[in-house]
Chains A and B, each alone.
Chain A
Amino acid sequence: MSEIKFPAEVVWHMYEGMLVSRMLDTKCFNDFAEWYPAFGEEAVTIGAFGSLIEGDFAVPHYRGSMGVFWLRGMSLEQIIGGLLFKTNSVSLGRLSGLHGGDFTKKIMPSVTNVLGPNISSGTGLAMAEKLKGGKGVTVIGFGDGTAALGTLHETLNMAKIYNLPVVYVCQDNQYSISSRSNEFHSWDSLATWAAGYNVPSSRVDGNNILAVRAEVDAGIERARNGGGPTFIDALTFRMGGHLSTDKALYQADDEKLTWENKDPIKNLENHMLNELGISAVEASVFRADVQSRVLDAWAKVISSESVTLESK
């Protein structure tokens, strides 16, 4: 799948992250009337946030955020507790699961579902880090539709003039609800917009986690060494509707098929089989193990205490 090589344990960890994300999404998609799955976008979320270390900040996009929560060390129980509005979740059950990042683990929660403010306030985290002389880097994810908001443009300009340690990753699934990105944005790639602010920018295959991770790693290194912001447009595809009830009739059949064949999880499995000599049996045992951990955690959490107005 690519020339890019990562150590086997890093690859296994990527694989695990993508599976956790996919399986949580599948469960939520089946159980909840209102759910916004990141099917097909896992290489972007897990690739972009996989290299962060302690002291770094993660500001994930809402879609696929749970994979990022897991990467940053939130337990499956905590994540599922958020999904089910349980008092033992980080928000005491107040926030929806996909918005409820644990700030003590340096994950920015989404306390408004208005798109945009987290891009700029996330950049503020990076600004403070720089002023304090810290080494932390901030990675900020957002959607292609969100990129049309003025706040991204104001922020890119400031990130550049203040030379901030931040990596912007557009989770470019080519849609904002029913609107096709290429009809509503005057870009060839979103990276060309960022280049207009003199921010080093590139487009990457967002269904290839190795490519995403390598590109983000370069950005993180630049940021850590005082080189300022980086912008990455990770091109991927929203496999399905905006939310559970949306049948995505506006996506063309051949378009759907093309991208289904580029499923990022299958991509990585092929790499593991072909390049790392992992057997299909090993992979499927691993998958089953992740699945049972997710379902076990779910079963454990479901009977725990739900939030009420009296919860403190």
Chain B
Amino acid sequence: MSSKRLTLREAVVEAIDLEMALDPTVVMLGQDIGAFGGPLQSTEGLWERYGDSRIIETPVAEQGVVALGIGMSLNGLRPIIDLMFADFLPLVANELLQLSANLNYMSNGKARAPFVLRTRGGDGPYRAHPQNMEALLSNVPGLCVVTPGSPAAAKGLMVAAMRSDNPVVYIEPIFLYQGPKEEVRSEQYAIELGKAAIPRVGTDVTLVCYGRTVRLMQLAAAKLEEQGIDCEIVDLQTVTPFDRAAVIKSAEKTRRLVVAHDAWMNCGIGAEIVATVVSEVDLIARPVRLTGPDVPTAYATALRDNSRPTVDNVVNAVTKMLARK
């Protein structure tokens, strides 16, 4: 079985490339996705292969473009709508939340919108658009929100998103975009939506994460292992609707819970995870949420770089939790 070392960005592009070759109904809409190669090189090589009829460049008109894509998906195509950055999700919230999310249920399954809205979110080497908007989309039923935490996950999740018969918002973490690389299987494969992954099995504490914090938890778990603490990592992969069964099962085993995400705390994904776990599981320590602070995301690097949960934050939270026994 062949494989290649790819960045997360390259893995997403490969998934789209192979799927466009397999399925002629997959088309893409977005700004600067043609010869320019897409924002942060997110469509590199696709226009050269599939041309103007399938890689369709748009004006700066996000609301209209998302609604256009939804309409296209209702009429036989599987559009991928490339929204340059997750900062623009609030701009298209109406189309996503009140149109696409409702279609399946309200039409009793007669009008289905199989599109993917892909976008890039969170801080990272590219400093311009740092915000995390996943919680905003998660409060409304009917949307599936996915964030990969590694190149291999990125490929499989994108394939599943493109094959889903319902709307999927796929947020690519900018922090992991251009590295580190990982071996990614070359054949096309899908990772089931709504299912978490357990990249590390352990017994002492459950670390729930997605996107950038998956790597963070892995680094923290390695440090904690040196102290004899055995962490279990639950990578949600699908942020909404999240894999309740997997989270609860892990928490039942370890009875300790830490959740980390870069997005704000208030009404965030972490709150939902903690609420779910404490209502189902008797934890032996108070659960901890590690998040960005509840202030607007500033431009200043000194402010941003000190606003993300760190490996040390996780290590400290876990050691404190275990000391309290």
Interface residues of A (CB under 8 A from B): 34, 85, 93-96, 99, 111-116, 145-146, 148-150, 176-179, 184-185, 250, 306-309
Q: In the bound complex, do residue A85 and residue B59 qualify as a contact, i.e. CB atoms below 8 Å apart?
A: no
Q: In the bound complex, do residue A177 and residue B32 qualify as a contact, i.e. CB atoms below 8 Å apart?
A: yes
Stretch in contact with the other chain, from B16-24, B107-115, B153-161, B302-310: B302-310
In the complex, A112→B299 CA distance in Å?
Answer: 10
Known contacts being A34-B126, A178-B35, is A184 close to B58, with CB within 8 Å?
Answer: yes
Q: In the bound complex, do residue A34 and residue B300 qualify as a contact, i.e. CB atoms below 8 Å apart?
A: no
Q: Which residues of A contact B179 (CB under 8 A)?
A: none
Known contacts being A94-B300, A150-B63, is A112 close to B87, with CB within 8 Å?
Answer: yes
Interface residues of B (CB under 8 A from A): 31-32, 34-36, 39, 57-64, 87-88, 90-91, 126-129, 293, 296, 298-303, 306-307
Q: In the bound complex, do residue A85 and residue B301 qualify as a contact, i.e. CB atoms below 8 Å apart?
A: yes
Which of A94, A111, A185 is within 8 Å of B59, CB to CB? Answer: A185
In the complex, A184→B32 CA distance in Å?
Answer: 11
Of chain A, the residue at the smallest CB distance from B125 is: A33
Known contacts being A34-B127, A114-B88, is A178 close to B32, with CB within 8 Å?
Answer: yes
Q: Which residues of A contact B296 (CB under 8 A)?
A: 111
Q: In the bound complex, do residue B32 and residue A307 qualify as a contact, i.e. CB atoms below 8 Å apart?
A: no
Q: Which residues of A contact B32 (CB under 8 A)?
A: 176-179
The number of A-B residue pairs with CB atoms under 8 Å apart is 81
List 9 tightest A-B contacts by C-beta distance, closest first. Answer: A178-B36, A148-B59, A85-B300, A96-B299, A94-B298, A184-B59, A145-B60, A148-B61, A177-B32
In the complex, A146→B31 CA distance in Å?
Answer: 12
Q: In the bound complex, do residue B129 and residue A308 qualify as a contact, i.e. CB atoms below 8 Å apart?
A: no
Q: Which residues of A contact B90 (CB under 8 A)?
A: 114
Q: In the bound complex, do residue A94 and residue B57 qualify as a contact, i.e. CB atoms below 8 Å apart?
A: no
CB distance from A241 to the nearest CB of B (A): 11
In the complex, A135→B277 CA distance in Å?
Answer: 60
Q: Which residues of B contact A145 (CB under 8 A)?
A: 59-60
CB distance from B307 to the nearest CB of A (A): 7
Q: In the bound complex, do residue A95 and residue B298 qualify as a contact, i.e. CB atoms below 8 Å apart?
A: yes
In the complex, A116→B59 CA distance in Å?
Answer: 13
In the complex, A250→B57 CA distance in Å?
Answer: 15
In the complex, A138→B204 CA distance in Å?
Answer: 62
Q: In the bound complex, do residue A176 and residue B299 qualify as a contact, i.e. CB atoms below 8 Å apart?
A: no
Q: In the bound complex, do residue B299 and residue A85 qualify as a contact, i.e. CB atoms below 8 Å apart?
A: yes
5 more A-B residue pairs beyond the given contacts A111-B296, A148-B59, A176-B31, with a C-beta to C-beta distance below 8 A? A85-B302, A116-B91, A176-B60, A307-B302, A308-B306
Q: In the bound complex, do residue B35 and residue A250 qualify as a contact, i.e. CB atoms below 8 Å apart?
A: yes
Q: In the bound complex, do residue A179 and residue B300 qualify as a contact, i.e. CB atoms below 8 Å apart?
A: no
CB distance from A175 to the nearest CB of B (A): 10
In the complex, A94→B297 CA distance in Å?
Answer: 9
In the complex, A99→B297 CA distance in Å?
Answer: 14
Q: Which residues of B contact A95 (CB under 8 A)?
A: 298-299
Of chain B, the residue at the smallest CB distance from A34 is: B127
CB distance from A106 to the nearest CB of B (A): 22
In the complex, A184→B65 CA distance in Å?
Answer: 13
What would 24 A/B residue contacts be, using CB atoms closer than 8 Å?
A34-B128, A85-B299, A93-B303, A113-B129, A145-B59, A148-B61, A149-B61, A149-B62, A149-B63, A150-B61, A176-B60, A177-B31, A177-B32, A178-B34, A178-B36, A179-B31, A179-B36, A184-B58, A184-B59, A306-B302, A307-B298, A307-B302, A307-B303, A308-B303
Which of B60, B64, B128, B306 is within 8 Å of A309, CB to CB? Answer: B306
Q: In the bound complex, do residue B60 and residue A94 qualify as a contact, i.e. CB atoms below 8 Å apart?
A: no
Of chain B, the residue at the smallest CB distance from A243 is: B128
Known contacts being A94-B298, A95-B298, A306-B302, is A146 close to B87, with CB within 8 Å?
Answer: no
In the complex, A150→B62 CA distance in Å?
Answer: 9
Known contacts being A34-B127, A177-B36, is A307 close to B59, with CB within 8 Å?
Answer: no
Q: Which residues of B contact A176 (CB under 8 A)?
A: 31-32, 59-60
Of chain A, the residue at the smallest CB distance from B37 is: A178
Of chain B, the residue at the smallest CB distance from A242 is: B32
Residue among A111, A146, A148, A150 with most chain B CB within 10 A: A148
CB distance from B294 to the nearest CB of A (A): 13
Q: Which residues of B contact A149 (CB under 8 A)?
A: 60-63
In the complex, A94→B298 CA distance in Å?
Answer: 5
Q: Which residues of A contact B300 (CB under 8 A)?
A: 85, 93-94, 306-307
CB distance from A124 to the nearest CB of B (A): 18
Known contacts being A176-B31, A177-B36, A179-B32, is A94 close to B64, with CB within 8 Å?
Answer: no
In the complex, A150→B302 CA distance in Å?
Answer: 35
In the complex, A34→B61 CA distance in Å?
Answer: 24
CB distance from A88 to the nearest CB of B (A): 13
Q: In the bound complex, do residue A113 and residue B31 qualify as a contact, i.e. CB atoms below 8 Å apart?
A: no
CB distance from A102 to the nearest CB of B (A): 16
Of chain A, the residue at the smallest CB distance from B58 is: A184
Of chain B, the residue at the smallest CB distance from A96 is: B299
